[in-house]
Structure 1
Amino acid sequence: MATTCTKLHIAMFPWMATGHMTPFLHLANQLAKRGHKITFLLPQKAQHQLQHLNLHPHLITFHLITIPHVDGLPQGTQTASEIPIFLNHLLAIAMDKTRDQVEETLASIKPHFVFYDSAYWVPQIARKFGIKTICYNVVSAASLAIVLVPARNVPNNRPITEEELSKPPQGYPSSKLVFTGPEAKLLMFISLPFGENITFYERITTALRESDAIAIRTSRETEGNFCDYIASQYHKRVLLTGPVLPEESDQGKLDLNLAHWLDGFGPDSVVYCAFGSQINLDKNQFQELLLGFELSGLPFVVALKAPNECASVDEAIPEGFEERVKGRGVVSRGWVQQMLILKHRSIGCFVSHCGFGSMWESLMSDKQIVLVPHLGDQVLNTKLLVRELEVAVEVERGENGWVSKESLSKAIKSVMDQGSEIGDKVRKNHLKWKETGGTPELMNHYVDRFAQDIQDFAFC
């Protein structure tokens, strides 16, 4: 067994999306805080986006990778946040074309470990140099368990059917977290190409299967049964890091203008909405959501990307909307400090797409949670919070997945109105979860345990 004074050198090569690179860097910060050295492989544009989050530059080194051009991508594309989500499969081709650069880097620095997620070929390279590999997943264990286990294997030339996706795989540990009816359509993306001559399903299952160990950004209190199931299916260790969110002292201060505006409202009275860095709504749906916040009658802050076919948020604002909500509604035109917003005393509700990072941020906050999922794993994360933990409500959808202003307003009021039975229930369950499974001490313990586990693993 390694001693606690053993210091490791770890290379990290995450998928080139904000929702992947940022949690990798949060983990890098925690490991560097414990004295370990990190070489973080990423594109130049991502370095500019993440530089301010590197809290230990003397131990965390950004190593730039050149992303080659692929036909079909806009010139200069380096990260997923620059393109619509339907072009991600081309960015995966570009990532795979960096293989020689990654191999050259690993041959030069010879770290103890490489942490990766989508680059399924990393273990093949690492074995040449005696480097161990950990497939670090920043999505929920539940989503990995239901669609990315060997029990789901089908012939390479046949896509997974909706019927197959509607049935839990053998031994799956939950009857509440399965896809039914139209929900299964949201998971069909896993059978689509994600790279050259490889599907998303094949890419991720290969990444998991070829690794020396699997790590997941989750906790046993939240998803222990799913973690055990994954371990049994892949016959290898599953290490848990906890949510690995930045510590309060590391987050800086909230923008003064927004802080001043929020200070004008009472405690727990403002609704905050954000759908992450990759969700581009259609213009009609974008406008309908804004009208839903207006209809709620509550003060709100909305931070959504410009919708499809619009060059800016301004192009999509409904006519007369900003005049009608002046003084009680803010629509952001750019990046916002989400975790700092959620810590403000006036925020009472978080309307989220339930990406895994936002899921953890909502769980670790004391805010009411309203969910509007868009993609497969977000739907499953939503089920985890709504059905398993019962700490949130989901907005009802109409035909073709449409979210009406009435359904959004109804969901918000159900958790925000005084005396609401639903609001009281999710608030009590959320508080109970935080007291037992979401304490800062417990989350810190996960990182300590993870750091010790990989020290032991490095020299076994």
Structure 2
Amino acid sequence: MNPNVKSKKFHIAMFPWFAFGHINPFLLLSNELAKRGHKISFLLPNKAKLQLGPTNLHPDLIAFHTLSVPHVDPLPLGTETASDIPLSQTHHLATAMDLTRHQVESILQRLKPDLVFYDSAHWVPELAQKIGFKTVCYNVVCAASLAIALVPAREVPEDRPLTEAELAEPPSGYPSAAVVLRQHEARALSFISLEFGKGVRFYDRITTAMRKCDAIAIRTCQEVEGQLCNYIGAQYEKPVLLTGPVLPEPEKTPLDDRWAKWLDRFGPGSVVFCALGSQWVLEKDQFQEMVLGFEMTELPFLVAVKPPVGATTVEEALPEGFEERVRGRGVVHGGWVQQMQLLGHKSVGCFVNHCGFGSMWEGLMSESRLVLVPHLGDQILNTRLLADELRVAVEVEREESGWFSKESLSRAVKCVMGGDSEVGGWVKKNHAKWRETLASQGFMSGYIDDFIHKLHEI
């Protein structure tokens, strides 16, 4: 390759799906690209811009371009991101995103970027033909979920959702044990054959997005999901570019005094921290079963979850007598917490989480033992990867209903926290090995540098 081409600085437009679990990873990648001198034009709803301003580390090179998100019934007025609505309404938000197409086209026509990164907006390649730019379908979910549910070789009937038996059966040649799904997990993947935006199924949206792009990019690494990435490339006959995990810069903001002082009361690695993501709202009986499970561990714990359905605060939904019984060693908090800083505190020794992709990588990079309670399709597949293949975590056993009991939660936490537990021993050993690999000198930066090199090739 001509050395002048290698040194060329790109102008890249970013257009992620309107959910912070997608917008944030796109911005993390933008920060890494801008650090190396590339110019970024970031298209996003106005609400998201207001929230993300402080995390733009290179405002001289990363410019936000806001979109006016049209109102779509029955969404509440002012809905702009998935955080504004329950999960059951996100298909209407997809319709709203599609209605921004003319705004997006106008902005891209004016900017004339070299490349456009997108994920859910499957129509971006059509704009590329008119305006003249290359397209990268950037996926910020695990390769396992792309491979199992979305490869073109998998037939999805147009007139009905897939059955649980069909969902549990792997696509031909699928190279991962993550496909071994239980009944309730197969059910959680049925959304792929449902409508996601007016007149388009989720399956068709995502497969079209990957089939029509110039290159597929995935936020993962060869060491963790290499076989799956190769499989996806073979299925789509496209180059597959890996960015690595692309984690946030080390947090400079100290942990809030309230939590720092509370955690300082306990010994190193003794506290159980639980966080289940920004969108998961539990039913009241599920919430109560969960907090009783933490009580049963007899360990100090901090649980950060949204108030359950029908409750204004977490306090009003707690089981009778719970607060008195755990006072001094247990806290249930209904607001946002600094997850990265909490995981970095010396007293936190166990991280119970939903295994969303961001939490998956943050958990891997932490020193905490990992206990997983997945809820949605990609979280289930992330859990399969961590618990069954890498063997760095323990999954909480589920009942036939799909939820877990207080006993199974307590058992899983004690299993990884117990000093004489055989399972806890190999989880700790495997986790330490992977953390050492991911944190090794030049590992993350090497992926970004190689990613940019491959962008030049397309």
TM-score, structure 2 as length reference: 0.96
Matched to 1:399, the amino acid is E
The offset of 1:175, in angstroms, is 3.7
Which residue number corresponds to residue 408 of structure 1? 409
Matched to 2:97, the amino acid is M
Which residue number corresponds to residue 45 of structure 1? 47
Distance 1:135 1:176 in 2: 23
The 5 A counterparts of 1:8-407 are 8-248=10-250, 250-407=251-408
Are the counterparts in 2 of residues 251 and 340 from structure 1 also a CA contact under 8 Å? no
SS at match of 1:302: strand
Are the counterparts in 1 of residues 284 and 317 from structure 2 also a CA contact under 8 Å? yes
Aligned CA distance change for structure 1 residues 95 and 419 (closer, same or farther; 3 Å): same
Distance 2:313 2:123 in 1: 38
Are the counterparts in 2 of residues 350 and 368 from structure 1 also a CA contact under 8 Å? yes
Aligned CA distance change for structure 1 residues 213 and 62 (closer, same or farther; 3 Å): same
The offset of 1:15, in angstroms, is 0.8
Distance 1:440 1:338 in 2: 24
Are the counterparts in 1 of residues 353 and 372 from structure 2 also a CA contact under 8 Å? yes
Which residue number corresponds to residue 434 of structure 2? 433
The offset of 1:440, in angstroms, is 5.2
The offset of 1:319, in angstroms, is 3.0
The offset of 1:372, in angstroms, is 0.3
Deviations 1:391-416 (A, max 9, x none): 11010111311211111111000000
SS at match of 2:153: helix
Distance 2:307 2:32 in 1: 34
Distance 1:437 1:48 in 2: 32
SS at match of 2:179: coil
CA-based RMSD: 1.4
Distance 2:437 2:68 in 1: 45
Deviations 1:87-122 (A, max 9, x none): 100111111110010000000101111111111111
TM-score, structure 1 as length reference: 0.96
Are the counterparts in 2 of residues 176 and 383 from structure 1 also a CA contact under 8 Å? yes
Are the counterparts in 2 of residues 355 and 381 from structure 1 also a CA contact under 8 Å? yes
Deviations 1:209-265 (A, max 9, x none): 1111000000000000000000000000000001100121x5422112211211221
How many equivalent residue pairs?
A: 456
The 5 A counterparts of 1:412-427 are 412-427=413-428
Q: State the percentage of identical aligned residues.
A: 62
Of 35-44 and 318-327, deviating more is 318-327
The offset of 1:82, in angstroms, is 1.3
Distance 2:231 2:390 in 1: 19
Which residue number corresponds to residue 453 of structure 2? 452
The offset of 1:449, in angstroms, is 1.1
The offset of 1:437, in angstroms, is 4.7
The offset of 1:155, in angstroms, is 4.1
Matched to 1:114, the amino acid is V
Unaligned segments of structure 1, at least 5 residues: none
Distance 1:16 1:311 in 2: 26
Are the counterparts in 1 of residues 276 and 353 from structure 2 also a CA contact under 8 Å? yes
Distance 1:144 1:186 in 2: 15
Are the counterparts in 2 of residues 177 and 384 from structure 1 also a CA contact under 8 Å? no
The offset of 1:52, in angstroms, is 1.5
Distance 1:153 1:189 in 2: 15
Distance 2:302 2:178 in 1: 32
Of 2-11 and 341-350, deviating more is 2-11
Aligned CA distance change for structure 1 residues 251 and 143 (closer, same or farther; 3 Å): farther
The offset of 1:182, in angstroms, is 3.3
Of 4-13 and 265-274, deviating more is 4-13
The offset of 1:180, in angstroms, is 3.9
The offset of 1:179, in angstroms, is 2.2
Are the counterparts in 2 of residues 140 and 218 from structure 1 also a CA contact under 8 Å? yes
